[in-house]
Amino acid sequence: MIEKIGINAGKVWAVLDENGRQNLKVIKKSAKLTDKDLYAALGWLAREGKIALEEVEKELFVSLN
């Protein structure tokens, strides 16, 4: 399971690296992840200090640090 989360974190990172700041819906679709896999990957990246999270009008945006 840990390996899968790491792989998915790489997918999310790649989406953000290529496209810049994105909302969760776009990241989920671009990386082709389920909600559960997306949130686990975001947690991994957040714990490592690789991403910044910003809430704008009740919508969550993610960008690379």
pLDDT score for 63? 98
State how many domains the chain has. Answer: 1
Task: Provide the CATH number for the domain around residue 28.
Answer: 1.10.10.10
- pLDDT tens profile 26-55: 999 999 999 999 999 999 999 999 999 999
Residue range(s) defining the domain that contains residue 24: 2-64
pLDDT score for 46? 98
> Average pLDDT, whole number, for the chain?
98
Return the structure tokens found at 48. Answer: 């490592």
DSSP assigned state of 21: S
pLDDT score for 58? 96
CA 7/CA 55 separation, integer angstroms: 25
CA 23/CA 7 separation, integer angstroms: 20
Q: Computed over its alpha carbons, how large is the radius of gyration of the chain?
A: 11
CA–CA distance from 3 to each of 17, 53, 56, 58, 62 (Å)?
Answer: 21, 23, 32, 31, 22
